[in-house]
Structure 1
Amino acid sequence: MPIANGTSKYVAVREHLLTRIRDLEVGTRLPAEPVLCDEYGVSRITLRHAVDGLIADGFLVREQGRGTFVSAPRYASRYPERFADQVSGFHTQQSREGHAVHTRVIGFEDAAAGAFSSDKLAVNSADRVARLTRLRYVNDALHHLAVTDLPLERFPGILDADFTDGSLFDYLRGAGVTLARNEVVVSLDTADTALAQHLGVEVGEKVLRVDSTVYDSDDVAVSYGTSHFTPQNSEIAFGLHG
């Protein structure tokens, strides 16, 4: 089944392979690389990149001289969030992986952008934003705390939306926004009292922080947010392409 145009070949191959191997028993050997390349209509580099990603996630194992085999995932309680080739959002990414996603909205308010998002959204600090604060769960396990600002001038009705089960990115698309790119910065942060309470960690513990600025097709920022991840059940995976 050659990969259709309109999506990253690497992403399409990886997603199809993941669906495929979930129906196979642990220890099943994958077809040889030339066979898979012909099947998907991709280069060996593209195929190897997709397979390497599944090996890194623990779904496959490569044995020198023998081939690549289906393995039991090493991180049964970890749910990687991927940033590769497309702006799809956490809800969509995890759902595609077959996980159940649940959100608890703990705050949704009209707020001043302030120092938190004024620079990122290119607005004045006094300009109003919709500030959405959510605890995100995957398969009933707490995954991260997300705080996201969106300019109220552009999305005046957003405060009436319910994001308990819905996707924020789907809402933006429904509002006519073409999501073009997601600028992501990953760093370590130190849990303060509030963050420690939300994530169930000790005050002062190091946690993973991801800053995300999403831009539309006119290169205008439509949202800015931070996510703090629980160290015990999350990881971030990047796909970098030249």
Structure 2
Amino acid sequence: MDLSPGTSKYRAVRSSLLERISTMAIGEQLPSEPVLCEEFGVSRITLRHAVDGLVQDGRLAREHGRGTFVTQPQDDVHYPERFADVVTGFHRQQTAAGHVVTTRVLRQGLVPVDDETARQLDLAPGEAVIELVRLRYVNGQLHQYVVTCLPSTRFPDCLTADFTTGSLYDFLHERYGVALSRNDLVVRVDEATPEIALNLDVEPGLRLLCIGSTVFDAADAPVAFGVARHAPDNSEITLSLRTAPPARGGMTDAQ
């Protein structure tokens, strides 16, 4: 197992497991957790983190009471996000298309608001926001690393809600009656920080498609600010633009 300088135990275990399962037959069983922990010299927490990631990626499958087995690797498939006239959200959009969306919550807690988030959410410097850091998967394929911030005083239940399944926007609608009416987007390219690189399984510094999103309610008050960084194998968005309806008298804005 490669533990050269700069290589984390998680990444080393994941790399070793990938190399091993690439030589195994579909349906073949991995050794037990204690055997793998002893072989790699790591804790069960580190091993499970690596195995969990490969399960989410569709490379392994767990069967309760039996063990962990090699599965058929999925071909790279694009699941583009579409931004058009209706604010739907990632989860709603993908499930409406017939896909299965799963989520791994990496962090969920109160943090001091940074300058950019304070501007987007119209908050005072130093206020606390609920930070939700998630990995999103579509049909078992890793899709994006998302950091979402919400005003803690307005949406306190988001601090303890379970977001491993379901839609954040659905939760806001059901719990707080929030109806989204606007989504301001910024699309750019960012370099992967070490944390993002670790979770997206890419090299630190790799340039990633990054989409910043601020959603607003019907009163035009900011609800949430999020930044999604997309896995390079399926970085794709689609945009749909529509001209404004004719003004009274047949005049348009362009005229």
Q: TM-score range by the shorter chain?
A: 0.5 to 0.7
Match of 2:90 in 1: 90
Higher mean C-alpha displacement, 134-143 vs 153-162: 153-162
Match of 1:173 in 2: 173
Match of 2:229 in 1: 228
Shift of 1:113: 1.1
Name the amino acid aligned to 2:119.
D
Q: Hey, which bits of structure 1, 4+ residues long, moved more than 6 A?
A: none
Name the amino acid aligned to 2:224.
S
For 1:191-220, what per-residue CA distance to the aligned partner results, in whole angstroms no more than 9, with x for missing partners?
121111111111111100000000011111
For 1:167-197, what per-residue CA distance to the aligned partner results, in whole angstroms no more than 9, with x for missing partners?
0010111111111111111001111211111
For the pair 1:110 / 2:110, whether they are aligned, the reply is yes
Match of 2:153 in 1: 153
Shift of 1:234: 3.0
Shift of 1:125: 2.2
Name the amino acid aligned to 2:142.
L
Shift of 1:116: 4.1
Q: How far apart, in 2, do the equivalents of 1:126 and 1:156 lie? A: 17
After TM superposition, list the pairs within 5 Å mapping 1:1-242 onto structure 2.
77-174=77-174, 175-242=176-243
How much identity, in percent, do the aligned residues show?
45
The structure that has the greater radius of gyration is 2
Q: How far apart, in 2, do the equivalents of 1:192 and 1:146 lie? A: 13
Contact 2:151–2:224, Cα closer than 8 Å, also in 1: yes
Contact 2:134–2:145, Cα closer than 8 Å, also in 1: yes
1:104 partner SS = strand
Q: How far apart, in 1, do the equivalents of 2:136 and 2:125 lie? A: 27
Q: How many residues align?
A: 168
2:155 partner SS = coil
Contact 2:209–2:235, Cα closer than 8 Å, also in 1: no
Provide the TM-score with structure 1 as the length reference: 0.67
For 1:23-82, what per-residue CA distance to the aligned partner results, in whole angstroms no more than 9, with x for missing partners?
xxxxxxxxxxxxxxxxxxxxxxxxxxxxxxxxxxxxxxxxxxxxxxxxxxxx96000011
Name the amino acid aligned to 2:148.
T
Q: Check 1:205–1:76 CA distance in 2 against 1; reply closer, same or farther (3 A cut).
A: closer
Q: How far apart, in 2, do the equivalents of 1:213 and 1:160 lie? A: 22
2:189 partner SS = strand
Gaps of 5+ in 1: 1-74
Shift of 1:165: 0.3
Q: How far apart, in 1, do the equivalents of 2:204 and 2:111 lie? A: 26
Q: How far apart, in 1, do the equivalents of 2:208 and 2:155 lie? A: 31
Q: How far apart, in 2, do the equivalents of 1:158 and 1:173 lie? A: 12
Q: How far apart, in 1, do the equivalents of 2:90 and 2:146 lie? A: 11
Q: How far apart, in 2, do the equivalents of 1:173 and 1:180 lie? A: 12
C-alpha RMSD over aligned residues: 1.2
Contact 2:135–2:142, Cα closer than 8 Å, also in 1: yes
Shift of 1:115: 2.1
